[in-house]
Structure 1
Amino acid sequence: MDINNHGFIRVAAASPKVRVADCDYNVYEMKSVIGDAVAEGVQVLCLPELGITGYTCGDLFLQTALQNKAIDSLFELVAFLKDKPSLIVIAGMPLACRGALYNVAVVLSAEGILGVVPKRYIPNNREFYEKRWFISGDLLRDTAVEIGDDLYPVASASTIFQTPFGCFGVEICEDLWRPIPPSLQLSVEGAHIIFNLSASNELVGKNAYRRSLVSQQSARCCGGYVYASNGCGESTTDTVFSGACFIAENGSMLAESNRFSFENEMIIADIDVSMLEHERMVDNNFTIPARGAEDIYACIDRVSVEKMYRSVEPHPFIPSSETADENLGDVFRIQSHGLAKRLKHIGTDKAVIGISGGLDSTLALLVAVNTFDLLKIPRTGICGITMPGFGTTGRTYSNALSLMRSLGVTVKEISIVESITQHFKDIGHDIDDQSVTYENAQARERMQILMDYANKIGGIVVGTGNLSELALGWTTYNGDHMSMYGVNSGVPKTLVATLVRWIADTQMEDAVKPVLQDVLDTPFSPELLPPGKDGLIGQRTESVVGPYELHDFFLYRMLRFGDSPSRICLFAQMAFHETYSFEEIRKWLRIFYRRFFAQQFKRSCLPDAPKVGSVSLSPRTDWRMPSDAAADLWLDELERVEPFTV
């Protein structure tokens, strides 16, 4: 598989074994790491700060013998890379120029030495006293520096290294810890990835801070951040180093090394450059200025790999266990406070909700109950109306009534069978013709009842439809598509179930929990077609439109990252290879695209609703699309997608 075709570049951070001032040993271990990197298809490898000599050489840095040996060792690495056209290596060393010594990163490839990046912030406090030996790269005014018998470019504060698969910048250790790190400017100038050659010693609690710093900087830069630090072979006269390495991407940690290892350590990750470019395009604060002659171009070959160094979350809308309480609580509070503001603005203490016994109406009711509790309004101001029809089963009917009674809201039952039967007579529709008319008439009749009853009591209709249904158009226009305020419109189906379960476990009285559990166990269905002969639900949503977990995944990748059909298929295969075949994924993605494009007209006139996550289909916040846009481009690409072997 050619990962570059899908917008990725493979990077690595390594901490090779090191001996202080033993350049031959250090280069030997670097070569070993480089060989492993080539075998794994790595395209850019970051090594630690001053790795050729070791970081803890002290006054030996001022010895000409060590400086010269470092240069000889550098050219040994250059020669080693001559037959490795797919790899760029960034190595650290001391470099003398015009009577001053600089701490530099040297960028190497099969082409030779591409450029030299000097460290700009020189630490001189506590255990660090680098100013004894090195001066800031800001004082190096030369545009080129002599190494051996040739001149090589010196990277300025805004120099970008451009490869065919992404651009990168380089900073060194302390640069990251300053109030305005060079990486910020480099990212604004167009660097997708920052490589940091570091020598960060260990202290109690420091690693957590360092990890957070790397992760946060990747988020600020809206880019990748690759961090490599020196390992245990450094001098322990005053400090101990652990070989901490990190690879982060836009705030997420992709890989982290084992610390305190006596062996070579290397971590690898596939950075999603395509996603980063989309994020910056949406952000609009990464407008890249006209590039100057200071950019350095680096040619590297494509790589074909058998696997990807990247995990894909199959349920991106569902928070991890570590953040579940906070994130689910925030969703519930956003929904509740949005409804509270609307009730206060209107000046009403009445709300009307259609209760089917399904998940969506259950969540809407729980939100309404929480809202009324927050506003200190009696729950009896919430009127739950269950409206049995041709497809209502005993299970959902019973759950609807039990839920409303256990929550203490006003319960009302209005059957739609008689009114719909009359309606079919009025419009000349055969009641045995269970077509779309048969189904939609029921949904519209229910909405008419809700709207009119809300008018009668001076309240508002609280909508129950979720984000996934809006994406697929699995709503009846002017039926359940409509409301006076939709509390679930920003919540995808996969999150609805997780949220209801969390509310049941943490927010509800014991009497409500058994009902909520049975609602959670009930298959998804609009219940617009008659039950089976066994009295059970005969119409199952996912057998018609497909699995919601897939559609939510498709929706997230398309809207959040602007992914093409080929990239969505790739990620879906990585996430669901144990659950769905490639053909199944492509089948349901095809349906997703067809429905998403065809049903935009419903989203163009959505009722007000709160945005709760990073993906929204509201025409007033996130998604503006013509209702008559063609899906051909997406569907044509989808037919050309080849399966990826995970």
Structure 2
Amino acid sequence: MPAFHNLYRHGFVRVAAFAPHVAPGDPMENAQRLIALAKEADKSRAALVLFPELSLTGYALDDLHHQALILQSAEQAAAALIEASRDLMPVLVAGAPVAVDGQLYNCALIIHRGRLLGVVPKSYLPNYREFYEKRWFAEGPSAIADSVRYAGQDAAFGTKLLFAADDLPGFSFMAEICEDLWAVHPPSLDGALAGANIIVNLSASNALIGKAREREALVRVQSQRTLSAYIFAASGSGESTTDLTWDGQTLACELGETIAQGPRFEDNAGLVTEIDGERIVQDRLRFSTFRDGARNAREHLTGWRKVSFTLAPPLDETLPLERTIRRFPFVPSDRERLDEDCFEAWSIQVEALVQRLRSSGISRAVIGISGGLDSTQALIVTARAFDRLALPRESILAYTLPGFATSEATRGQAIALAGAMGVTHREIDIRPAAERMLADLGHPYAEGRAEYDVTFENVQAGLRTDYLFRAANHEGALVIGTGDLSEAALGWCTYGVGDHMSHYNVNAGLPKTLIQHLIAWAARTGRAGEAAGPVLERILATEISPELVPAGENGQIQSTQGVIGPYPLQDFTLHYVARYGFGPEKIAFLQETAWGESSRSDWPDHVAEADRHHYAMADILKWLDVFHTRFFGQSQFKRSAVPNGPKLTSAGALSPRGDWRMPSDMSAKLWREAIARLKDELGD
């Protein structure tokens, strides 16, 4: 079996893109420079190496493209590059002028292990402002030939070529050249529908102020529109600067996200990163419009040909990812982006509740507050919704409902928050009613025995819900839900009670890791009011606990994360299970990359020191087992009966009316067996 710590085992494809220092008009010298960079990429076990447009000759040769000696030398240089590739693993994509049937084409040469796999001519030739390509080249789609004899080899020729590794699922690519991307209908639109997961662009785009941003935007959007990865390499140093300058920009984007950028204005600049082929395949499976696009564009997809090759990556080696995997997929690393996302999430919650209050005609709300994260966020949202509707905050009835394990600290935080928010606070001590119910049930606790079982816990949880709903009946109010997305995924809620049931749940789409940052953002920006800031800070510093079981003799309180796992790890798993459908083996590899002791990921500034943990593989597998057992085998019946609430993230809200549908009586056997095999393999 391939090594677990080998990126190719997990559906990744390592790619490189370079902007080599060009020797204009000296193809053989350029070939040697490309060979040197290809050997570097081979050492890193890259599967694909991209070079810029006309990289064997130089782009800015102008009329010299029609010089016979240049064209002959370019073909000889291509032969040298092909020969040098025999002992190299990666597929090489280089640019050269190629004459076919009396026409000259600006082409991409696709080379692998001594073979010229194909030659792809440029489709769209710019002939405006500084560009005069129609003076020298013919458009690719006008070509009649479907094969070419070049550099001593016969190869497929045309704009509709798909290159696919027969031994690496997910590694399929097509090439387009520079202006093709700027066209109204880029060839990559059809190439993606024809099966290309990766699009490469050989470019000679010159440098202008702001143009690098324009290129990145185009590449990023095209990767999103085509549900693909898009690799871009532009000409760099050495090109003639008679009238233009070249920056050597290299980019890699995947599904609308920039995953790597090389430096600009440097000799031999470039990047090495990985494309997640499985992620692309999974997205295409789930997006029905991608399938519809293939159907509607059928006439454009005729004539596409697949050229197969065998990559033979070294699967027995340890090959960790160069690519950074975000530890917090729901929380942006950049502070400015985090603030934008927090504002948007908060606004979505507020807008959702405003509409529910308007449509119901109800002008009062009941919410149970515990001094913990979820009810705090729900109260902040509710207060803002009432402000939007010009309703008095006094009409928000915030109840504290202390039970057998409620601490004075959390109770005090809840009361202080209600005061700071200007809502009406009420308190009902549920202990007398709970003692009566336990006695009626014949529970050992009623006889003085400290038996803190599920009945003991749920009697308290159920009574709180009973009081909130009856208070809402009595006051003509709406019960605001507090349960979050992470709890729904793990089934960390009691069926039919407060963290599961409400009239409307504003937190339904919020993962726990994002809730923490939303509250911190509210404190930092004053969204909850200046008076609330200090109490919000105390709430954020409080350990997450349901407070249903009294503290032990050593003062240890009931810990949520001690039972269901650290929320950062479990939210990470939730993202990749619900959004991409990844299996536990792939997720374990990603988690170790992000959270392991050897992780190279930087900690965002907004992550507190106390939350900066690393996890050993044994812990990763332990909590993966907990997640999959609870998510697939124990909790769907609860998710099948959740109240309404807004979706906030791409992972969805796990609502049976929206993103997530699965049988309530499903077994987790398949996932648990996969985790057990992984434990055996890794010895954890």
For residues 529 and 377 of structure 2, what CA distance do their matches in structure 1 show? 15
2:30 matched to 1:26?
Answer: yes
Question: Aligned AA for 2:542?
Answer: T
Q: Which residue of 2 aligns with 1:401?
A: 415
Q: How far apart in 2 are the matches of 1:107 and 1:141?
A: 20
Write out the 4+ residue segments of structure 1 that deviate beyond 6 Å after TM superposition.
Answer: 289-293, 642-645
User: 2:183 maps to what in 1?
Assistant: 178
CA contact (8 A) 1:393 1:531 kept: no
Q: Distance in 2 between matches of 1:605 and 1:51?
A: 60
**Deviations 1:469-514 (CA, angstroms, capped at 9, x unpaired):** 1111111111121111011111011111100111112113221111
1:351-390 map, 5 Å: 351-390=365-404
Helix, strand or coil for the counterpart of 1:69? helix
Alignment of 1:77-476 (within 5 A): 77-84=81-88, 86-148=89-151, 150-157=153-160, 159-164=161-166, 165=168, 166-262=171-267, 264-287=268-291, 294-303=305-314, 304-320=317-333, 321-431=335-445, 432-476=450-494
> Deviation at 1:525?
0.6
The aligned residue for residue 605 of structure 1 is 641
Change (3 A) 1:296 1:155: farther
Deviation at 1:392, TM superposition (A): 0.5
- Does structure 1 retain, via aligned residues, the 8 Å contact 2:143–2:158? no
Instruction: After superposition, give the CA deviation of every residue in 1:310-345 in whole Å (9 maximum; x if it has no partner).
Output: 111111111231312221111111111111111111
1:111 deviation in Å?
4.6
Secondary structure of the 1:539 match is coil
* Distance (Å, rounded) in 2 between the aligned partners of 1:292 and 1:620: 41
Shift of 1:599: 1.3
The code of the aligned residue for 1:603 comes to R
For residue 17 of structure 1, the aligned residue among 3, 21, 26 is 21
Counterpart position of 2:600: none
Structure 1 residues 582 and 291: CA distance shift in structure 2, 3 A: farther
Letter in 1 for 2:655: S
2:617 to 567, 582, 605: 582
Q: Residue 618 of structure 1 is aligned with which of 650, 655, 668?
A: 655
Return the letter of the residue paired with 2:629.
R
From 552, 571, 588, the counterpart of 2:590? 571
Q: Spell out the pairing of 1:517-596 with structure 2 (5 A cutoff).
A: 517-532=537-552, 538-578=557-597, 579-596=614-631
**Structure 1: how far apart are the matches of 2:584 and 2:130?**
52
CA separation of 1:127 and 1:24: change in aligned 2, threshold 3 A:
same
The question of whether the paired residues in 1 share the 8 Å contact of 2:78 and 2:151 is answered with no
Contact 1:160/1:296 (CA < 8 Å) preserved in 2?
yes
Shift of 1:4: 2.1
CA distance in 2, matches of 1:574, 1:294: 37
The structure 1 residue matched to 2:54, chosen from 50, 57, 62, is: 50
Deviation at 1:3, TM superposition (A): 2.2
Worse-superposed segment, 31-40 or 319-328: 319-328
Distance 2:165 2:309 in 1: 5
CA distance in 1, matches of 2:452, 2:682: 41
Q: Is the 8 A contact 1:489 1:609 kept in 2?
A: yes
| Matched residue type, 2:322 | Y
Mapped partners of 2:219, 2:640: distance in 1: 41
More deviation, 330-339/278-287? 278-287
- How much does 1:307 deviate? 2.5
Question: SS in structure 2 opposite 1:561?
Answer: coil
- Kindly provide the amino acid, as one letter, of the partner of residue 314 in structure 1: R
Q: What secondary structure is seen at the aligned counterpart in 2 of 1:323?
A: helix
- Over the matched positions of the two proteins, sequence identity in percent amounts to 40
C-alpha contact (below 8 Å) 1:49/1:92 kept by paired residues:
yes
For residue 197 of structure 1, give the secondary structure of its aligned residue in structure 2: strand
Instruction: Specify the SS of the correspondent of 1:179.
Output: coil
Partner SS state of residue 634, structure 1: helix
2:609 equivalent in structure 1: none
Equivalent-residue separation in structure 2 for 1:188 and 1:387 (angstroms): 57
- In structure 2, stretches of 5+ residues that fail to align are 296-300, 598-613
The Cα shift of 1:600 comes to 1.0
Letter in 1 for 2:437: H
Judging changes above 3 Å, is the alpha-carbon distance between structure 1 residues 111 and 348 closer, same or farther for their aligned structure 2 residues?
same
Give yes or no for contact 1:2–1:302 (8 Å, CA) kept in 2. no
For 2:420 and 2:364, how far apart are their aligned partners in 1? 19
Letter in 2 for 1:162: A
Q: Secondary structure at the match of 1:557?
A: helix
Give 2:127's aligned amino acid: N
What value does the CA root-mean-square deviation take over the aligned residues?
A: 1.6
SS of aligned partner of 2:530: coil
> Whole-Å Cα distance in 2 between the matches of residues 260 and 221 of structure 1?
29
Report the Cα distance in structure 2 between the residues aligned to 1:510 and 1:533, rounded to whole angstroms: 38
Letter in 1 for 2:108: A
Count matched residues. Answer: 641
Q: Secondary structure at the match of 2:655?
A: coil
- The whole-number CA distance in structure 2 between the counterparts of 1:498 and 1:16 is 43
What is the CA-CA distance between 1:281 and the residue it aligns to?
0.7
Structure 1 residue 58, shift from structure 2 partner:
1.2
Please tell me whether residue 640 in structure 1 is matched to residue 677 in structure 2: yes
CA contact (8 A) 1:40 1:305 kept: no
Match of 2:41?
37
